[in-house]
Amino acid sequence: MTAQTFPEVAVGASYGPVQVHLTRDSLVRYAGASGDFNPIHYRDDVAQHAGLPGVLAHGMLTQGVSVQPVVDWVAEGDPGRVLDYQVRFTRPVVVDGTDGADLHITAKVTGIAEVAEGRHAGREIATVALTVTFEGRTVLGKAVAQVLR
């Protein structure tokens, strides 16, 4: 396995796009881990009856897999360094029973500031904006992470 190389963490630096493939199996595994067994996440008939375009990925699954490139790159593999992460869900991710769904994630450092006081004084916090798309359309709006450096 080759080591992954990342760009230097600096204002304006970006990473990606990274593709994450979700399948119906992904949804079932996430349901088991989270306890969210709403059938719109695994049954076509229930999703259709609810007026949805198909089985949907859990919003929190989409949010969680979308921050992973930030963890790998800016947080250098340490998820505990993500101090804050917020998103707005803008569109559902429909996971086809055969083809699944591909998310495309790009991360960009929009700011770096030194912490002036408190337990992290003297360290830096990087602000990272995420762009997450499915079928060419944004699915997470205002997706921003604050990462301790």
pLDDT for 34 equals 96
What integer best gives the mean pLDDT of the chain?
95
Strands (E), the chain: 14-22, 82-89, 101-114, 124-134, 137-148
What's the domain count of the chain? 1
Q: Is residue 5 part of a domain?
A: no
Q: Is residue 32 part of a domain?
A: no
Q: Is residue 51 part of a domain?
A: no
CA angle 127/58/74 to nearest 5° reads 20
Residue 3 above 80 pLDDT?
no
pLDDT in tens, 84-113: 999 999 999 999 999 999 999 999 999 999
pLDDT in tens, 8-52: 999 999 999 999 999 999 999 999 999 999 999 999 999 999 999
Banded model confidence at residue 4, pLDDT cuts 50, 70, 90: low
Q: Which domain holds residue 80?
A: 14-23+58-148
Q: Is residue 35 part of a domain?
A: no
Q: Is residue 144 part of a domain?
A: yes
Q: Is residue 52 part of a domain?
A: no
Domain of residue 18, CATH code: 3.10.129.10
